[in-house]
Structure 1
Amino acid sequence: MVQNNSNCSMSHFRYPLFTSTYSLILLFGLPLNTVSLWILVRRNGLRKSVPVIYMANLALSDLLFILSLPFRIIYFTNGEWTLGNTLCMIPGTLFVVNLYSSSLFITLISVDRMLAVVYPLRSRFLRTAPVAWGLCATVWVLISGLSVPTAMNHQENNDTECNVMRCFEKYTTDEWKYGFYILCCVTFFGILVPFGIILGCTVAVVRQLSSYSMKTSSSNTDMSKNKIVKLFLSNLLIYTICFIPFHVAFIVFGLNKLNILQGGETYFHIQTVTMCMASTNSCLDPLIYYFSSKKLQSRGRCDSSTKTGGIGLVQSTSLIQQ
């Protein structure tokens, strides 16, 4: 590595930031997702419970990404890539696979929970294991198709200025153009459209639960209502924090790289931070979607004796787990 060139120095904050962020995600995300997936499959099973099917696929997506993190940690620790072209393509591809499969699985979870609360009886034919598996298979097929151009755009490249091989950075202008067009397309269909669906589901559930609260003053029913609202808001919150900032920053940074937008290094710094934020979704998913769901299930059982006006809410609560 050329020592007298500032562009070749590892003093830029992205190197320690990425190294520490990915190390923490690996440290916490690997056991969280492994245990969550094991419990979902062994304790709950994948034959009947629709939410479990969606959450198990979400945990699998997160686990695949987390297993690729050692390659990223090695690179950002050393500042150069020595593991070959194939191993360079895999981590970059799995990051994209995780990002958009998580987006779609979170959307499926939100839609499923909305149907259970707003249309608990009419939606039973839609909330079945075969339908859930079919939707999950569709997600994996779509994401697999996206992974091909992504892999081709995440190859190792020779940084002639510093005389080292690079991975995850230092892409050419042509690679940026190609990647930018893909990014704009998947941002709309893979992020904005799902976000709109999740937002719509959240509004529908809040309205439905508001009508329940006017029919009953049961404290148990109010607690169940609050649990359900928190689950939907957590869906919206994790989506807003992890996915939206990253895509906004990446598009702006892409415009800067293509000389369409001026702004110096500022956009690069923002893109670096938001990429770390996007990566943390693999740690937050098992906490929000599995453990919160178990609390809701316990509450649903406790409320099974609720009378009169709370019956609809209790039915909706229990149906979320079916």
Structure 2
Amino acid sequence: MNACNSTTIENGTELGKNYSAYALVFGSVMTLGLPLNAVSLWILVRSHGLKSPSAVFMVNLAISDLLLVLSLPTRVYFYATCTWPLSQVACIFVTMLFRNNIRSSSIFITFICVDRLLAVVYPLRSRHLRTSSNASKAAALVWLFVLAVNIPESVIFSRFLKNNNISLCFEFQSGPESPLNYLLPVLVFILLAVNVVCTTLVSRALRSHLTDSARVSNKVNVMLIFVMNLMMFIVFFLPLSLAVLIESWRPAFTSLICLASVNCCLDPLLYYFSFDGFWRRKEDVDSSHAME
């Protein structure tokens, strides 16, 4: 008996309806996210390359979102048919792709926020720190971090699948005894705090006119970037993190995973507002300083 049938017997028809809704949400995210992020990545690489730290972080964010989108067809199939047709290794691989997006996206979004803070509030003092080389090294460390976390997670996941039906592939959650269970909440809380501090400092600098930020030509766009970053955390990442910690939220865990996946469809807006006329001029100035 597969996961859908067994749960339907226990909870009536509610789960069947939920599974159909999950398939619809993941299918919609896949349909929108694939072209949006593929085009965004092409524009970022073709027009901006890896010549500025913000471009490096945004290219990596787009790659992270594309990896998420590539993992969605199997989720759509699973929730549409309530079966898992592939191997245990494939189930682990696809699950890790999905989990890595939440972690890497939250980190790259925070890097973008910190980079914008330095560019606006400390443009001269940070010009040697804000280099594409340093950004590439930071991005490499992020990928090493998420891959390192995959090793113990994959072991725990493998044990779960051996003791349960393979059709429970996407129903896996780390047990409460696993310290990895607290990794996502701690990471999201820390990064959210960093984003709040950056937003506050930039807002204060733009209002006070005490720094080079007084020459920013489009302050609305600047603040919009920070507001969008905060929205990503509060709307998409924070609810899922709280569900890990709050037991009463556990029944909504898969629904919150659906919500978190939507973030990949909105990231292209961040690229658009980050690379308007002001940021292109600013990055050109920063690049010329870096070459001096």
Please state which band the TM-score falls in when normalised by the shorter chain: 0.7 to 0.9
**Runs of 4+ that moved beyond 4 A:** 2-5, 8-11, 213-216, 315-322
SS in 2 for 1:157: helix
- Determine if the alignment matches structure 1 residue 271 to structure 2 residue 253: yes
Alignment match, 2:227: 233
Q: Does 1:290 pair with 2:271?
A: yes
Q: What CA distance in whole angstroms lies between the structure 2 residues aligned with 1:9 and 1:82?
A: 25
* Pairing of 1:81-120 with structure 2 (within 5 A): 81-120=84-123
For 1:201, the aligned partner's letter is: C
User: Structure 1 CA distance, aligned partners of 2:120 and 2:196?
Assistant: 15
1:250 Cα deviation after fit: 2.3
Deviation per CA, 1:66-102: give whole Å up to 9, x if none.
1011111111111122211011111211111111011
Let me know the Cα RMSD of the aligned residues.
Answer: 3.1
String of CA shifts for 1:38-77, please: whole Å, max 9, x gaps: 111112111x211110000000011111101111111111
Aligned equivalents of 1:17 and 1:67: distance in 2? 19
CA separation in 2, counterparts of 1:58 and 1:135? Answer: 13
Count of residues in correspondence between the two structures: 284
Alignment match of 2:27 (pick from 4, 9, 23): 23
The structure where helix makes up a greater share of residues is 2
Task: Give, in whole Å, the separation in 2 of the partners of 1:281 and 1:177.
Answer: 27
Distance 2:155 2:275 in 1: 41
Is 2:67 the counterpart of 1:64? yes
Q: Percent identity?
A: 34
CA contact (8 A) 1:29 1:66 kept: yes
Tell me how far apart the structure 1 counterparts of residues 285 and 154 of structure 2 sit (CA, whole Å): 42
Question: Whose Rg is larger?
Answer: 1
Residue from 27, 36, 41 that aligns with 1:37: 41
- Which consecutive residues of structure 1, in runs of 5 or more, have no partner in the other structure? 254-262, 305-314
User: TM-score normalised to the size of structure 2?
Assistant: 0.86
| Counterpart for residue 201 of structure 2 | 204
TM-score (norm 1): 0.79
- Tell me if the contact between 1:120 and 1:316 (Cα under 8 Å) persists in the aligned partners: no
Q: What's the offset of the Cα at 1:299? A: 4.5
Distance 1:14 1:124, change over 3 A: same
Letter in 1 for 2:185: T
Shift of 1:185: 3.0
Question: What is the deviation of 1:183?
Answer: 2.1
